[in-house]
Chains A and B, each alone.
Chain A
Amino acid sequence: MRVAIIGAGVIGLSSALCIHEQFHGLVPSLELEVYADHFTPHTTSDGAAGLWQPYLSDHGNLQETLWNKETFDYLLNHLHSPAAKEMGLYLISGYNLFTEPVPDPSWKNIVLGFRNLTPKELQVFPGYSYGWFNTALMLEGRSYLPWLTNRLTQRGVKFFHKKVESFQELFSQGVDVVLNCSGMRAGDLQPDPELQPGRGQIIKVLAPWVKHFIITHDLKSGIYSSPYIIPGTEFTVLGGIYQHGNWSEENSAKDHKSIWDSCCRLLPALKKAKIVGEWSDLRPARPSVRLERESIRLGNHQAEVIHNYGHGGFGITIHWGCAMAAARLLGSILQEKKQLASPPGPRL
């Protein structure tokens, strides 16, 4: 039973690990293979700051809120494990800032210690009159992806550095199920007009005195188009760019200036921070995550694809919930193919 995962970002690798953990004992013939044109540190997940935080509103998409919660709880349980440092996992607190009162977010009871900001705290951020404080998690892609890769390699999962041109290509080689975790380039495998780039650009600086994340919001201009500052272990990420429909992966001088000026206005001490890098990439944005089975007729048999893409700017935030959902879909497929007596129970 050959299962091929296309994509080696956080979605592809975590789906592979989740599937292997759940099924390798139950399906002795299970062989997992990961195909990708980019591996860490060159994936979209590597550039993301790694902060666990969903968008402000789930637009009634409770399924996604549940997947976010499953991810947070899963990560929280790993916080005290010896692997935490290697995973790039740690607690972080910080501020969400607004220029007007807003309703509480769908994730207020998922994170720890969620509360409104006090007037004295708002003095730190002139121009913002309302906000939240909470404790969340950081999961740095630059550490998490290598950690996932090591776990998968230990488990005998094979990696192939190639750009898969079609699902057909893998099925004709004898693959039984394909997991499509191709992120921004899912459209190359199967056209999807709902998948659009949400271009982002960030500046990496050395500002080790910053211990909190600071995310501002401009309700008119939309998510991530207002300055944000996220401190990591090796550098601090300055951002605030979200350009829907822009496919450019080149750094823009105009965006650099916009990020720099707005972040320095937010935290004047940043003017003295040393810039150590800059990066642009495309958030694989979609009105909702595409997480579903698709049966493809190939000659006289049926091939199965599980789609798991379109996680926009919240891939790290939602990844484990989606990986578990993808594993459940695989469970159904395995059952149908008589590889499995009954699907495994819920993961403890």
Chain B
Amino acid sequence: MASPKVAVVGAGVIGLSTALCITETCPSCSVTVLSDQFSPNTTSNVAAGMLIPHTYPDTPIHRQRQWFKETFTYLFAISNSAEASEAGIHLVSGWQIFKSTPKEELPFWSDIVLGFRPMSEAELQKFPRHQFGQAFTTLKCDCPPYLLWLEKRLKATGAQIYTRKVADLWELQSEYNIVVNCAGMGAQQLVGDKQLFPVRGQVLKVHAPWVKHFIRDGDGLTYIYPGIHRVTLGGTREKGSWSRSPDPGTTRDIFDRCCSLEPSLQGAQDIEVKVGLRPSRQCVRVQREVLSQGGVKLPVVHNYGHGAGGFSVHWGTASEAAHLVGECISALQGSSSRAKL
């Protein structure tokens, strides 16, 4: 197969980074990204893009660690380069605080972020209702810049990007050799995965340029993440909710919770409310599959179900998915050479 044609469904952080990885690991492939939504209308645009991993209950920890480490290393290099501001990648320091000391004082990623250490008594005085905390420096991927930068790099490789709603993976079989499913929440309908469920998140994006640190409550519900131009205030984790409309009561509640951690936010301006449905799963589905219908086969690589941790592991799962695409190509070349005999 001279030039395998690969279709990547989805143009959020997972789709775009996976497509880019495929162009790098398989230069002979022709890669096309298909999606009905692009920045600024993807779930990735709602997220703050903080590199603080979410723990998936059913993915082995060493695998999650590997994904996070690869992602952090890759983004760290960009943040130190001249492209950092265009790519929207920057370092940010701050605190993760707990109302009571957590069972696990050292998360699996503590040695991957920078300067991780417990907060001192003096530092904890800023948070009178919290007993324990961790200080560290990590990275943030701001969207839209990061998604636009991925698109730009993709186009530079010759990859094509089209607006198209894919209702069924089979509709791609006639034009493409391999399909990569990065449809996020859309995978529920696209491949009928009942293990995928939404976890609704509402956030506020505000103008508060004096906020230079992130603050995250260890319960994951309240957080303040300063981006390049806006600070993301969160949030909610509403399992099973499909509502994409902002709820005003929730807005008030998020604002109050964040102001109790950072009182100066009372002076925040230009409050914008956004909602995203985290495409959640007990484990991220990075997996090869060969679909079969009436004697016709369609190799598919799945890369979805990142829930609350998409940005944190995106490059690691993209690499793994690209590797699986490579396996699909080998399998196709093996069977086509067998067919020639």
With contact pairs A91-B212, A233-B210 given, residues A211 and B93 touching in the complex (Cβ less than 8 Å) = yes
CB distance from B125 to the nearest CB of A (A): 9
Residues of A with C-beta under 8 A to B81: 268-269
Q: Are A123 and B80 in contact (CB under 8 A)?
A: yes
**Chain B, 81-97, CB within 8 A of any chain A CB:** 81-86, 88, 90-93
Contact of A92 among B83, B119, B212 (CB under 8 A): B212
Q: Which residues of B lie under 8 Å from residue A28 when comparing CB positions?
A: none
Contact A210 to B211, CB < 8 A, known contacts A84-B263, A269-B81, A269-B84: no
Indicate whether A280 reaches chain B with its CB closer than 8 angstroms. no
A209 and B120 in contact, given A85-B264, A90-B264, A93-B93 (Cβ under 8 angstroms) = no
Instruction: Name the B residues within 8 Å of A211 (CB-CB).
Output: 90-93, 212-213, 226
Q: Is the CB of B123 within 8 A of A207?
A: no
Chain B residues with CB under 8 Å of A138's CB are 210
Interface size bracket, B side: 35 or more
Do A268 and B209 form a contact, CB below 8 Å, given A82-B263, A121-B137, A209-B90? no
Q: Is A257 at the interface (CB under 8 A from chain B)?
A: no
Chain A residue numbers with a CB within 8 Å of B117 are 113, 115
Assess the B228–A209 pair: CB atoms within 8 A: yes
Given A209-B228, A212-B93, A269-B81, A233 contacting B209 (CB threshold 8 A): yes
B91 touches A93 (CB 8 A): no
In Å, the complex CA distance between A341 and B303 comes to 79
A208 near B228 with CB under 8 A, answer: yes
- Judge whether A112 is part of the interface by a CB distance below 8 angstroms: yes
Task: For chain A, residues 164 to 202, give those with C-beta under 8 angstroms from any C-beta of chain B.
Answer: none
Whole-angstrom distance between the Cβ of B234 and the nearest chain A Cβ? 18
Which residues from chain A contact B291 at a C-beta distance below 8 Å?
A: none
Chain A, residue nearest B88 (CB): A209
Chain A contacts with B in 74-111, Cβ cutoff 8 A? 79-82, 84-86, 88, 90-93
What residues of A have a CB within 8 angstroms of the CB of B114 in the complex? 118, 120-121
A268, B80: Cβ atoms closer than 8 Å: yes
Interface centre among A84, A90, A115, A121 (most CB of B within 10 A): A90
Minimum Cβ distance to chain A for residue B95 (Å) = 9
Contact between chains at A208 and B93 (CB < 8 Å): no
A297 touches B (CB below 8 Å): no
Cα-based distance from A233 to B207 in the complex (angstroms): 10
Given the interface pairs A80-B263, A82-B266, A85-B267, the reply to whether A234 lies near B92 with Cβ below 8 Å is: no
Q: Considering the chains assembled together, what is the distance between the CA atoms of A117 and B229 in angstroms?
A: 28
Residues of A contacting B258 in the complex (Cβ-Cβ under 8 angstroms): none
**A269 touching B119 by the CB < 8 A rule?**
no
B13 within 8 A of A: no
For B90, what are the chain A residues with a Cβ–Cβ distance below 8 Å? 209-211
Contact B123 A268 (CB under 8 A): no
Query: If the complex has contacts A91-B212, A112-B123, are A271 and B137 also in contact, measured as CB distance less than 8 A?
Result: no
In the bound assembly, the distance between CA atoms of A88 and B267 in angstroms comes to: 12
Q: Is A22 an interface residue (CB 8 A)?
A: no
* CA gap between A242 and B79 in the complex, in Å: 30
Chain A proximity of B264: nearest CB distance (Å): 5
| A231 sits at the interface (CB 8 A) | yes
Is A273 among interface residues, defined by CB-CB distance under 8 A? yes
Among B106-147, those with CB < 8 Å from A are 114-115, 117, 119-120, 122-123, 126, 135, 137, 142
Q: Which of B115, B122, B266 contacts A115 (CB 8 A)?
A: B115
Q: In chain B, residues 276-301, which have Cβ atoms closer than 8 Å to a Cβ of chain A?
A: none
Contact of B135 among A88, A113, A124 (CB under 8 A): A113
State which residues 204-247 of A face B: CB under 8 Å.
207-212, 231, 233-234
Q: A260: CB under 8 A from chain B? A: no
Asked if A332 is at the interface of the complex by the 8 Å CB criterion, the answer is: no
- With most chain A CB atoms within 10 A of its CB, the pick from B91, B117, B211 is B91
| Residues of chain A with a CB closer than 8 A to B123's CB | 112-113, 135
Question: Inside 8 A of A133's CB, which chain B residues have their CB?
Answer: 93, 115, 137
CB-defined contacts of B267 to chain A, threshold 8 Å: 85-86
Distance in Å: Cβ of B156 to nearest Cβ of chain A: 18
In the complex, the answer to whether B212 meets A93 with C-beta atoms within 8 Å is yes
State whether the Cβ of A272 lies closer than 8 Å to any Cβ in chain B: yes
Q: Which residues of B contact A93 (CB under 8 A)?
A: 93, 212-213
How far apart are the CA atoms of A118 and B111 in the complex, in Å? 11
Closest to A80 in B: B263
> In whole angstroms, what is the CA distance A269 to B267 when docked?
30
Q: Is the CB of A91 within 8 A of B213?
A: yes
Distance, CA A135 to CA B93, complexed state (A): 10
A92 to chain B, nearest CB (A): 5
Q: What is the CA–CA distance of A138 and B264 in the complex, to the nearest angstrom?
A: 14
> Within the complex, what minimum Cβ distance (angstroms) separates A51 from chain B?
12
Determine if B209 and A208 form an interchain contact, defined as CB atoms under 8 angstroms apart: yes
A-B contacts, 27 of them at CB < 8 A, read A79-B126, A80-B126, A80-B264, A81-B263, A84-B264, A90-B210, A91-B213, A92-B212, A93-B93, A93-B212, A113-B120, A113-B123, A115-B115, A120-B114, A121-B115, A123-B80, A124-B79, A207-B85, A209-B228, A211-B90, A211-B92, A212-B91, A212-B93, A233-B209, A233-B210, A268-B81, A272-B85
Given A121-B114, A268-B80, 20 other A-B residues pairs in contact with their CB atoms under 8 A: A79-B264, A80-B126, A81-B263, A82-B263, A84-B264, A85-B266, A93-B212, A113-B122, A120-B114, A133-B115, A209-B228, A210-B90, A212-B91, A268-B81, A268-B82, A269-B83, A269-B84, A269-B85, A271-B82, A273-B85
8 pairs of A and B residues whose beta carbons are closest in the complex: A269-B84, A268-B82, A209-B90, A85-B267, A90-B210, A269-B85, A93-B93, A233-B209
B-to-A contact residues, CB < 8 Å = 76, 79-86, 88, 90-93, 114-115, 117, 119-120, 122-123, 126, 135, 137, 142, 209-213, 226, 228-229, 263-264, 266-267
